[in-house]
Every structure is written in structure tokens, then in C-alpha cells.
């Protein structure tokens, strides 16, 4: 039987809520400097970016719009099928916008390189990528994010928006699950 309390599912904490807040502050201040006088539109990649984006934009001190899109995901496993589709699209045209695409974690790079290509084809004024976490060890396509919160090792992590089989997104910090939980799926 799995324990009932969410925190008891976690074997090790990688980023506490305080560490995540410090990362958001640093990124928000940098973005604020870089987007002076621009027409910033922060684009969240659902669902993983929800907590990161909500906290990050509080540290962005320039006027901005927000929008969301959703792409096909990993399914229930811990590795990507390599196929990406837009499931929910942005609301309108992008011609006059400086897009900042916000992602929870950059892994193989397939999702963000697909989004970069697809959104660039709609001719926004500019487009940049911001990821809370970067797992460079598993990269399959070359892509360099403009803003990175932190680098992580090749390990499957959950919490603060990141899921395993659609669960654990509501954990207010990031950690690794107890091994028996990954084995259940
Ligand atoms: P990529 O296309 O392989 O770069 O995949 C990025 C997506 O995979 C992220 O948006 C996450 O949804 C998911 N992902 C990659 N690594 C992890 C992880 O360690 N935990 C949870 N989700 C992950
Ligand atoms: Mg994601």
C-alpha cells in the first residue's frame, strides 16, 4: 500500500520551495531587464509549467500578456515517444509579440525545438525559451534555452508542475519518487 500523504511518496528533495523561489526571482529580474520596452507575451506550455509560470511572472516587472498552449505528452512512462502535436493552441496572431516560451523541463529537446519552429513560422517579433530545469544529458536535438533555472542530472523528477503519470504536480517542491512508485506503472 502506498502512503496516503504526498510527501511520503518522495525519496529525496532536489529543490525546496525556497530554492525555487530564489531561481524565479533571479530569472524574473533578468527577464525584466531584457524586456524593457518590448511587447512581452509569456507562453506557458501546459500542464508542467503552471506553477513555475505563475511564480515567475510575479517577478517580471514589465507589462506583459500571458497565454498557454498544450502539446501531446509522454503518456504514462518516463521517456518520450518523440512525437509532438499541439493539442491546445494560442489565442491569436503573434506578429507584434515578443514571445517567451516557458517550459518546466528541457529533456530530449524535442518539445521545445518543435515549438520554436512552429511558433517562429507565425512570425512573432521575437521568440525566446525559458526552462525551469535543463537535463542536458538526455538531449537528442540541439537546442539552447535563453533562460535556465537550474541543470539537473539524468533522473526522473516530480513536483512543482512536473508529473509522473499526471500526478505529483501539486507538490510544492521538486524531488524524486520512491522507486516502487515508478515500478507500479
Ligand atoms: P523533451 O521533449 O524530451 O525535451 O520533453 C520535455 C517534457 O518531458 C517536459 O515538458 C516534461 O513534461 C517531460 N519531462 C522530461 N523529464 C521529466 C522529468 O524528469 N519529470 C517529469 N516530466 C519530465
Ligand atoms: Mg511538459
Dihedral sign (CA 112, 69, 165, 8): positive
Contact partners, residue 119, CB within 8 Å, separation at least 6: 43, 90, 94, 99, 101, 127
- Determine the length of the chain: 185
Is residue 164, in this structure, part of any structural domain at all? no
Which tens digit of pLDDT belongs to each residue from 130-178?
999 999 999 999 999 999 999 999 999 999 999 999 999 999 999 999 9
**Relative to the alpha carbon of 110, which ligand is closest?**
1
The reply to whether 107 belongs to the active site is yes
CA 116–ligand 2 middle distance (angstroms): 15
CA distance 133 to 129: 12
Is residue 11, in this structure, part of any structural domain at all? no
Is residue 174, in this structure, part of any structural domain at all? no
Is residue 166, in this structure, part of any structural domain at all? no
CA 107–ligand 2 middle distance (angstroms): 10
Is residue 180, in this structure, part of any structural domain at all? no
| pLDDT, position 122 | 97
Is residue 181, in this structure, part of any structural domain at all? no
Q: Is the pLDDT of residue 1 over 60?
A: yes
Which tens digit of pLDDT belongs to each residue from 75-123?
555 665 667 899 999 999 999 999 999 999 999 999 999 999 999 999 9
**Relative to the alpha carbon of 155, which ligand is closest?**
1
Q: Is the pLDDT of residue 47 over 80?
A: yes
Among candidate residues 89, 53, 93, 92, the one with its CA nearest the CA of residue 69: 89
CATH for 59: 3.40.50.2020
Is residue 178, in this structure, part of any structural domain at all? no
Q: Is the pLDDT of residue 185 over 70?
A: no
State pTM to two decimals. 0.94
Do β-strands 65-71 and 86-88 pair in parallel, antiparallel, or remain unpaired? antiparallel
Q: Secondary structure of the chain in the HEC alphabet? A: CCCCCHHHHEEEEEECHHHHHHHHHHHHHHHHHHCCCCCEEEEEEECCCHHHHHHHHHHCCCCCEEEEEEECCCCCCCCCCCCCCEEECCCCCCCCCEEEEEEEEECCCHHHHHHHHHHHCCCCCEEEEEEEEECHHHCCCCCCCCEEEEECCCCCCEECCECECCECCCCCCEEEECHHHHHHC
Q: How many domains does the chain have?
A: 1
Q: Is the pLDDT of residue 10 over 60?
A: yes
Among candidate residues 37, 48, 125, the one with its CA nearest the CA of residue 80: 48
| pLDDT, position 162 | 98
Residues lining ligand 1, judged by CB closer than 6 Å? Answer: 48, 73-74, 80, 103-111, 135, 156-158, 162-163
| pLDDT, position 79 | 60
Is residue 170, in this structure, part of any structural domain at all? no
Which tens digit of pLDDT belongs to each residue from 15-28?
999 999 999 999 99
| pLDDT, position 75 | 52
CA 105–ligand 1 middle distance (angstroms): 5
Nearest residue by C-alpha to atom 3 in ligand 1: 108
Nearest residue by C-alpha to atom 20 in ligand 1: 157
Structural domain of 94: 17-153
Amino acid at each position: 500500500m502506498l502512503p496516503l500523504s504526498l510527501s511520503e511518496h518522495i525519496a529525496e528533495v532536489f529543490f525546496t520551495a525556497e530554492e525555487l523561489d530564489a531561481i524565479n526571482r533571479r530569472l524574473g529580474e533578468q527577464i525584466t531587464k531584457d524586456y524593457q520596452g518590448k511587447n512581452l507575451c509569456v507562453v506557458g506550455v501546459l500542464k508542467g509549467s503552471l506553477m513555475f509560470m505563475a511564480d515567475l511572472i510575479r517577478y517580471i516587472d514589465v507589462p506583459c500578456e500571458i497565454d498557454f498552449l498544450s502539446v501531446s505528452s509522454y503518456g504514462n512512462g518516463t521517456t518520450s515517444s518523440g512525437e509532438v502535436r499541439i493539442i491546445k493552441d494560442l489565442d491569436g496572431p503573434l506578429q507584434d509579440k515578443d514571445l517567451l516560451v516557458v517550459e518546466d523541463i528541457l529533456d530530449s529537446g524535442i518539445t521545445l525545438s518543435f515549438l520554436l519552429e512552429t511558433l517562429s513560422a507565425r512570425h512573432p517579433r521575437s521568440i525566446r525559451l525559458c526552462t525551469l530545469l535543463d537535463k542536458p544529458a538526455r538531449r537528442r536535438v540541439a537546442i539552447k534555452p535563453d533562460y535556465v533555472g537550474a541543470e539537473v542530472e539524468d533522473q526522473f523528477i516530480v513536483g512543482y508542475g512536473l508529473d509522473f503519470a499526471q500526478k505529483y504536480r501539486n507538490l510544492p517542491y521538486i524531488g524524486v519518487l520512491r522507486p516502487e512508485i515508478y515500478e507500479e506503472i
